[in-house]
């Protein structure tokens, strides 16, 4: 595959894409989107991603935005290594979980991290509700999800990390409450592709099971 270019920010949804590229053994380069200068809103970036969000993946077929769309594109160009191909009977179930991660868990995390953006009149109330919904979502994953496909793992692992760091006052979230998910995080983070991604963004040795704030080798963590 020709080289790809990932426009990323530290500890952002672009981490899910970086993980997929690493697990796929895919050649790619990166371009840091400097959020401290609001680079994601500049015309040059908006030309690639009209929503002004991160990530964007530049491909030989043009730029792709939206995390799940990028992940699915990567998977479909990776000969079934990351996700079932369209002819595979497991494709339907795999798509269901992929879009559940994209349309249910990921947006709920957004309301947790930025409640003032979604409900300016009562952000603390929204954050409280988001915490309850996230716990319910993780209960479902603990009971029903089986980590069969790498693409799911790449999307989920960062989302198990972020509530511990960016969900307001700490103490409400402890991944060990969900033993199967906690064990998944421990195993996943020790893989070579996950370690390469963690090193690239300064996430430490246990980025998913016992996360710490990033100390990135380039740019700023904010």
For 107-118, the pLDDT digits (tens) are 999 999 999 999
Residue 170 has pLDDT above 80, yes or no: no
Confidence grade of residue 217 (pLDDT, cut at 50, 70, 90): confident
Q: With contact defined as beta carbons under 8 Å apart, do 11 and 17 qualify?
A: no
Q: What was the pLDDT predicted at 64?
A: 97
Domains defined for the chain, CATH in brackets: 1-83+140-222 (3.40.30.10)
Residue 75 has pLDDT above 90, yes or no: yes
pLDDT by residue (tens digit) across 140-161? 999 999 999 999 999 999 999 9
Q: What is the DSSP letter of 121?
A: T
Residue 1 has pLDDT above 60, yes or no: no
Mean pLDDT of 88-112: 97
Mean pLDDT of 14-19: 98
Confidence grade of residue 123 (pLDDT, cut at 50, 70, 90): very high
Q: With contact defined as beta carbons under 8 Å apart, do 141 and 189 qualify?
A: no
Q: With contact defined as beta carbons under 8 Å apart, do 18 and 200 qualify?
A: yes
Q: What was the pLDDT predicted at 6?
A: 98
Give the three-class secondary structure for 76. helix
Q: With contact defined as beta carbons under 8 Å apart, do 21 and 75 qualify?
A: no
Mean pLDDT of 120-134: 94
Q: With contact defined as beta carbons under 8 Å apart, do 181 and 158 qualify?
A: no
Task: Report the percent of the chain where pLDDT is more than 70.
Answer: 98
Q: With contact defined as beta carbons under 8 Å apart, do 6 and 18 qualify?
A: yes
Residue 72 has pLDDT above 70, yes or no: yes
- Smallest CA-to-CA distance from 8 within 22, 208, 86 is with 22
Mean pLDDT of 165-181: 92
Q: What was the pLDDT predicted at 3?
A: 86
Between 137 and 38, residue with greater pLDDT: 137
pTM: 0.95
Residue 2 has pLDDT above 60, yes or no: no
Confidence grade of residue 221 (pLDDT, cut at 50, 70, 90): low
Confidence grade of residue 80 (pLDDT, cut at 50, 70, 90): confident
């Amino acid at each position: 595959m020709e080289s790809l270019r990932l426009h990323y920010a530290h500890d952002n949804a672009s981490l899910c894409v970086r993980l997929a590229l690493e697990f796929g053994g895919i050649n790619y380069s990166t371009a840091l989107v400097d959020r401290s200068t609001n680079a994601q809103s500049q015309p040059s970036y908006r030309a690639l991603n009209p929503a002004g969000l991160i990530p964007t993946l530049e491909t030989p077929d043009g730029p792709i935005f939206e995390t799940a769309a990028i992940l699915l594109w990567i998977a479909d160009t990776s000969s079934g290594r990351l996700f079932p191909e369209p002819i595979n009977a497991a494709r339907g179930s795999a798509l269901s979980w992929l879009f559940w991660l994209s349309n249910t868990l990921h947006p709920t995390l957004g309301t947790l991290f930025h409640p003032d953006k979604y409900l300016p009149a009562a952000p603390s109330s929204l954050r409280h509700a988001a915490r309850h919904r996230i716990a319910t979502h993780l209960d479902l994953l603990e009971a029903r999800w089986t980590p069969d496909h790498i693409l799911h793992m790449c999307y989920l692992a960062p989302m198990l990390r972020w509530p511990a760091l960016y969900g307001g006052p700490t103490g409400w979230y402890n991944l060990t409450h969900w033993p199967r998910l906690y064990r998944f995080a421990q195993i996943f983070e020790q893989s070579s592709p996950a370690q390469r991604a963690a090193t690239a963004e300064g996430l430490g040795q246990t980025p998913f099971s016992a996360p710490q704030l990033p100390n990135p080798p380039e740019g700023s963590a904010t």
